[in-house]
Amino acid sequence: MKRIGIDVGGTFTDVYLDLDGNVTVEKVPSTPDDPGRAVIEGISAICKKANVQVSDIDEIVHGTTVATNIALTGKGAQVGLITTEGFRDILHIARHKKPLNFSLQQELPWQARPLVKRRNRLTIKERISVPDGEVVTPINEDEVREQVRILVNRGVEAIAVCLLHSYLNPEHEQIVARIIKEEAPDVYLSVSSDVVPLYREYERFSTTALNAFVGPSVSRYLSRLHDAARDLGFRHEIQIMQSSGGMTPISTAAQRPVTLMMSGPVGGLIGGIWSAGLSGFDSTITLDIGGTSADIGVAVGGKLRMKHLLDTSIGGYQAMVPMVDIDTIGAGGGSIAYVDEGGVFRVGPDSAGARPGPACYGHGGTLPTSTDAQMVLGRLRADRGLASGDWKLDREAAEAAFAPLAEKLGLTITQAAEGALQLQRFEMAQAVERNSTARGYDPRDFALVAAGGAGPLFSCELAAELEIPTVIIPAHPGIVAATGLLATDRIVEEVATARHLLTSTTAPVGVEKQYQELEAQALANLEGQGTAVRLADCRYPGQGYEVRFEVPETALVDAAMPEFIEAFHRAHEHEYGHRFDSDTIELVNIRVRASQPSPELPAPGVTGAGSLENALVGHGVVCFEGEDVRTAFYDRDLLPAGAQITGPAIIEQYDTTTVVPPRFEVSVREDGNLVIAVPLQQKAADNEDLAAPILMRVIGGAINSTAKEMATVMLRMAYSSIIRESEDLGAGIFDADGNTLAESDTTPMFMGSMPKIVKGVIGMLDGDIQEGDVILHNDPYAGATHSPDVAVVVPIFDKGDLVAWAGASGQLLDIGGAHAGLMVDISDAQSEGQIFRALKIVKAGERQDQLLNQILSNTRTPKSNAGDLEAMMAACELARHRFLTIIDKYGRTAVQDSCSQWLDYSEKMMRSRIAALPDGEYTTDTGWLDDDGRNRGVKLPIQVKVIIEGDTITYDLTGSSLQVPTAYNCAFEGTTVSAFSFITRMIFLDEATSEVHVPQNEGMLRPINVIAPKGTIFNPNYPAATFARFNQVQRAVDLALKALAPIMPGQVTAGNSAHLHFVSYSGWDPQASEYWVYLECDEGAYGGRPESDGPDAVANLIDNTRNNPIEELEWRFPMMVERYELRDDPAAPGEHRGGIGIVRTSRFLVETEVTCEGDRHDGDKPWGIFGGHEGKNASIVRNPGTDTAENWPSKVTAAKLGAGDTLQITVPSGGGYGDPVKRNPQAVCDDVMDGFSTLEQAENIYRVALRGNMIDGFEVDEEGTRELRDSELAIRELVG
């Protein structure tokens, strides 16, 4: 066959032609203004080069970044949305979790750059329910038609249709789609039940909207490309690479362009698999390094690994489509080396780019880069140049660029250059380990394939670091992605949600038929030619994350169930290192993946026919491991098959340079590969000899990566929704004294409490600590945030010595207290439930099952609690293993020294930021909490004074309320100190505005002091209850921002909602013979910021949990959500408006007990600042809009709802920042159209004149606006 593969890159478009076994390659300049032009030029050029007619080509496979670029740049279509009434803002609220934990100034991509503007999100009355897709509210076609016409009149180019539970029953979505086709046949249509028929509404809505956003442009691009190829004489349909690793016809790709997202790196991974296969290697790790980034992919047995569907996103937008699991890191040839303000040696992610590029390019660059480091070390020759000699390289310029850096580090230029490459290499090694070791794969069982222009420069030393025995350099590393396109099979995946509880005795009804239907559909899309594989997404009952696995090749009948369930157990154990003893699992989604193999791609072979001597270019001095070594340089094009080279050697070719360190053995294979044997008995560098700045980065990175991996294990294994969905968890690694070395950056409140917990355990055990212990702890008077936040703590021993601790904590649904879930109006700590004080549930490796059973049986949710505790133990065991591996690799002394240096670094960074403020005492108005949950109307004062003294900060809460007789108190160490530690980090080391990331550890806490007199709500005396402890510290840290605003206006916010309506719903389930408990976090919004509006409906300040998918909770609990949107009130005016809170209405299907620990119903409102207006307070109403409507206070304990009752929760909105009259008039116009403001506010507060209407839209009347604002300024001058 005659086949062409075309991969479009940023600089070049690579073309690979297989002409009946003869290979031709070509590069043409990319054309960013129209990528298709370069594709057509590439097709023409390579056919001319090979002397073949385009009409004779049988297949063209194209890898495109068009869809990805549209999503990343935000230059997509104007999209309309039709959704279920009450859920207009699902896309706006998302999962209400901030991308960054430590930031006040970050933006939310889905709000700052919405896929669908709020004005174009229209609703219709309709509702489908679980579990069978029953129609609860019929659809009204006239209403649908009216809404469609509004969108068409507004000029939308695409419409997304996203209705709740449409994955169960697509009938209503199909009706809407039909009407859209009738009313607007030219509008691009994206229907969720077609695009991604899976449950979880936000992820499905986002994917469908993203498909609509990129659809028109991608469709036009593909259509133009198809026509242009036809004009050249191509007679077939072009195949397009998908993010799943398969190709699809161009017509299908145009219908679902969201499946093309992030498909760019996939070709490189497939090309690596194919190249390795030529030489007999099936398990591969592909390292594809370009100028700015490195793509790393792991393939076991030649099979692509897929990301979990909940981990697939692009540009901050969720895209729940199959994506190959590829890790991209900011490490490329242009990555810049530097020393940050805290003295840490770093490389990347900033890049010098192509222009000016590295200093050695001679295009004006002066900053030291990775390529300059290669030049300094002698690995690139000045007289050879790059791109086949198009320009020469300048070694002196490279050395000059590294000289200032070396001086800062106290190293020689050569040491600094080698150190920069070592840092990049270790970052790559950690990425490989995240995708191999962390998934249960041993890198030693793989071959490393080097791709991209810079891959072969790093590959050998990286392989030695990871003990990978073999490195493969393909014949054309720079065009491996284009090669991979021709090695790609045609793949079709069909999927459906099919939720069933499965047992080992009985097959689920109807699922076998569903599988057969999906198989028929998938194979039909391949014209009946291909094979199909069944897959399933399953989990243990109660978990929230599914594990995907291949289903045994038998019909899903009763006899097949034991094998089916065992296949899931094996998959779960492989993914998380643990299986649960259960013969019941939950099936969530079923999948069929059909494939049609591509024609066999011939090996490129070897062009050299002479001798090794003929290929020798000369010798040069190259630095390896700090020593200058005389090294042979070879021209790869002249290397003959069968040649053997022993390093050191440098092998040059048109598109890359391969570095072969001493003792590495190179074999030139007939298939065209260089196969390099790695001397595993020798590491790339003796770790003990690494320079201290490099060792610090490497060890610190490994420990921080471990802490984050702990959180992932907990999240995926946990049973309770508050952990697995809300992410209310913390995990970390601590030194032998309990000081934090690294934390998981999950829920902020755990940040400061975890070290207090570990130290509390150390104190209580008083030396009785043994290897193999697992310790349970939740005492609020000994470190815990509050009693339901139960922690598992594990000591880590090395050669008999206690060297560290691992800890994991999460909120259990119930600990056996006075009420289910949550409680406010209780009398003392004993009412909260079981308190575990350094209790060993595993003693010296022996599990205390009787004790565990006693603990669990005295709670209302034993199954959920058991699963959560197992998840915590698995996370700690993972940390123990990882930490000991780090010690084994680098030595205990080096690890301890590195940890100490990182603590000092974080402390130094924090102190330097605090010291920049003027010394003084800063206070603000007293804040007022509603009440204590029992004594209604008795407000509680909060007084905050902030003291800046040199490089320390002190928060003084003297004058705040005395402790109260309910649970509305805060444990001092675990809650009060933790809260102020966290807000200090957010203010002074904001992740969104800081140039470098400063790791969260104990050093960060050293400059921070908190004063709270004993006997107050922020430092109560035992046995005061501390169960409901969140709103108080939220308000306190918000007041700290207000106190600091005059001296740091650019780093604070206006008043935030600074609250949490934390609600528990519970009842007795007679069928399960146990309680059901659901915990819900209803968030508010931020205040306006110095440079941007306050984000709406998001976790704020010291909170960062997620909401629960409505389509998930309605499956699990007897309730139905009827509304989840932004509240109706307009935002607080300001130059930057305040964020808007949510309103949420739920109907309960059975008698339900409700507890809410909320606030800010009756107290002071979120404050405006610098002329901004104040925000709105919260409310709770039972049965709103009925004769029995009843306003509830912010705190209720065990209140009763009857079957059929509704509860409406409205949460606060933030205050405005700055003078409203300074707001951009166009922003005011947009706010009015999007419902964030009103016409009255526009005219009377913002002083902006608008003309138009809500249906057709508004525009700014510039002359009228000038008159209004001039008048306002004149009045102000008169008033003075």
Q: Please write the tens of the pLDDT for every residue from 58-81.
A: 999 998 888 988 998 889 999 999
CA distance linking residue 328 with residue 262, whole number of Å:
11
d(C-alpha 173, C-alpha 1122), whole Å: 19
- The neighbour count for residue 370, using CB atoms within 10 Å, is 29
Length of the chain in terms of residues written: 1280
In the predicted model, what is the mean pLDDT of residues 1030-1040?
Answer: 97
Q: Are 172 and 469 in contact (CB under 8 A)?
A: no
Residue 690 has pLDDT above 60, yes or no: no
Nearest to 492 by CA among 206, 274, 174, 253: 253
* Strand ranges, E, within 102-245: 121-124, 127-129, 134-137, 158-162, 188-191, 239-241
**Dihedral angle over CA of 718, 721, 725, 726, nearest 10:** -110
- Closest residue by Cα to residue 660 from 476, 480, 464: 464
DSSP 247: E
Strand partners, 313: 318
pLDDT of residue 326: 85
Cα gap 841→848, rounded to integer Å: 5
Burial class (CB in 10 A: 0-12, 13-18, 19+), 624: buried
Choose the final residue of a domain: 1198, 1218, 1238. 1218
Residues 754 and 858 in one domain: yes
Lowest-confidence range among 152-161, 387-396, 504-513?
387-396
Q: What is the pLDDT of residue 22?
A: 85
β partners of residue 806: 733, 794
Residue 1188 resides in a domain: yes
> Residue 1126 carries which side chain, given as an amino acid letter?
L
Q: 188-191 and 158-162: which strand pairing?
A: parallel
Does the pLDDT at position 171 exceed 80? yes
* Residue with tokens 């046995």, as numbered in its chain: 1023
Query: Considering the domain boundaries, does residue 556 fall inside one?
Result: yes
d(CA 968, CA 936): 13
Strands, sheet with 729-735, edge to edge from the N-terminal-most edge strand: 740-743, 729-735, 801-811, 789-798, 774-777, 839-843, 846-847
pLDDT band, residue 687 (cuts 50/70/90): low
H or E element that contains 44: helix 35-50
* Among candidate residues 1064, 1021, 1016, the one with its CA nearest the CA of residue 1195: 1064
In a domain, residue 307? The reply is no
- Cα dihedral angle (791, 797, 798, 802), rounded to 10 degrees? 100
Residue 901 has pLDDT above 60, yes or no: yes
Q: Which of 661, 294, 678 is nearest to 468 (CA)?
A: 678
H or E stretch at 777: strand 774-777
Predicted confidence at residue 574, as pLDDT, reads: 83
Of the candidates 287, 288, 299, the residue with the CA atom closest to the CA atom of residue 325: 299
Choose one of 669, 685, 701: the last residue of a domain: 685
Do 756 and 784 fall into the same domain?
A: yes
Q: What is the DSSP string of 613-674?
A: HHHEEEEEEEEETTEEEEEEEEEGGGPBTT-EEESSEEEEETTEEEEE-TT-EEEE-TTS-E
Alpha helix segments (H runs only) across 817-891: 849-857, 862-890
pLDDT band at 388 (very low <50, low <70, confident <90, very high): very low
459 and 557 in a common domain: no
Residue 726: closest CA among 1136, 1099, 1114: 1099
User: Is residue 723 located within the same domain as residue 670?
Assistant: no
- Alpha-carbon distance of 1180 to 1263, in angstroms, equals 44
User: Once rounded to an integer, what is the mean pLDDT over residues 779-793?
Assistant: 95
**166-to-128, 509, 538, 591, 1114 alpha-carbon distances in Å:** 7, 20, 21, 18, 14
* DSSP type of residue 919: P
Tell me: do 860 and 734 sit in the same domain.
Answer: yes
892 part of a folded domain = yes
Spell 1209-1224 as b/e; 16+ CB within 10 A means b.
bbbbbbbbbbbbbebe
One domain, residues 571 and 444: no
Would the pLDDT of 931 be above 60?
yes
Is the pLDDT score of 685 beyond 50?
no
> Region 914-939: what's the mean pLDDT?
97
1161: left (phi over 0), alpha (psi -120 to 50) or beta: alpha
pLDDT of residue 684: 35
Q: What pLDDT was estimated at residue 554?
A: 85
My answer on whether 1067 and 1161 are in the same domain is yes
> What domain range includes position 538?
490-596
| Bond preceding residue 562 cis, omega within 30 of 0 | no
CB-CB contact of 783 with 974 (8 Å): yes
Distance between CA 887 and CA 875 in Å, rounded? 19
Q: Is residue 195 part of a domain?
A: no
Q: Quick one: three-class SS letters along 969-998? A: CCCHHHHHHHHHHHHHHHHHCCCCCCCCCC
> Helix 171-183 crosses helix 141-153 at what angle (to 10 degrees)?
50
Looking at the predicted structure, is the pLDDT value of residue 1065 above 90?
A: yes
Residues 511 and 620 both lie in one domain: no
**Res 473 pLDDT > 80:** yes
SS3 (DSSP) at 1051: coil
pLDDT at 133: 94
- Give just the sign of the alpha carbon dihedral 553, 559, 564, 569: negative
Q: Do strands 1152-1157 and 239-241 pair parallel, antiparallel, or not at all (unpaired)? A: unpaired
Q: Could you tell me the pLDDT band of residue 527, with boundaries at 50, 70 and 90?
A: confident
Q: What is the largest CA-CA distance in the chain?
A: 97
Question: Are 1235 and 1257 part of one and the same domain?
Answer: yes
- Residue 1202 pLDDT level (bands cut at 50, 70, 90): very high
Query: Which helix (H) or strand (E) covers residue 417, if one does?
Result: helix 413-435
User: 3-state DSSP call for residue 61?
Assistant: strand
Scan for tokens 């002074």, then name that residue.
988
Residues 800 and 679 in one domain: no
Measure the CA–CA gap between 15 and 33, rounded to whole angstroms.
Answer: 19
Q: Which long-range contacts (CB under 8 A, 24 or more apart) does 875-878 make?
A: 875/710, 875/711, 875/713, 875/714, 875/731, 875/792, 875/806, 875/808, 876/710, 876/774, 876/792, 876/793, 876/794, 876/806, 876/807, 876/808, 877/577, 877/794, 877/806, 878/577, 878/706, 878/709, 878/710, 878/713
998 vs 1128, more confident: 1128
Look at residue 389 in the predicted model and tell me its pLDDT.
Answer: 43
Cα–Cα distance for residue pair 1269/1276, rounded to 1 Å:
11
pLDDT at 683: 41
CA–CA separation, 733 and 705 (whole Å): 11
Structure-block tokens of residue 25: 């390659």
Same domain for 1214 and 1227, yes or no, is no
CA-CA distance, 857 to 1081, in Å (whole number)?
27
Instruction: With CA atoms as reference, report the closest residue to 324 among 343, 296, 355.
Output: 296
Mean pLDDT of 1223-1231: 98
More confident residue, 310 or 236: 236
Same domain, 787 and 845: yes
Q: How many domains does the chain have?
A: 5
Instruction: Give the Å distances, CA to CA, from 517 to 143, 235, 389, 528.
Output: 34, 32, 58, 14
Nearest to 969 by CA among 935, 945, 933: 933
Distance CA 754, CA 783 (A): 7
Cα 1268 to Cα 1265: distance, rounded to the nearest angstrom = 5
The answer to whether residue 886 sits within a structural domain is: yes
Q: How confident is the model at residue 161 (pLDDT cuts 50, 70, 90)?
A: very high
Structure tokens at 896: 């301890």
Domain assignment present for residue 1097? The answer is: yes
Whole-angstrom distance, CA of residue 1149 vs CA of residue 1142: 23
Question: Residues 694-730: pLDDT tens digits?
Answer: 678 778 888 988 998 899 899 888 988 888 888 889 9
Final residue of a domain: which of 633, 666, 685? Answer: 685
On whether residue 706 sits in a domain, the answer given is yes
Distance from C-alpha of 490 to C-alpha of 456, rounded to nearest angstrom: 30
- pLDDT tens-place string over residues 935-964: 999 999 999 999 999 999 999 999 999 999
Across 9-23, 734-748, 880-894, least confident range: 9-23
Indicate if the pLDDT at residue 821 is higher than 50. Answer: yes
Peptide bond into 648 cis (omega under 30): yes
Q: Which two tokens stand for residue 84?
A: 């279920």
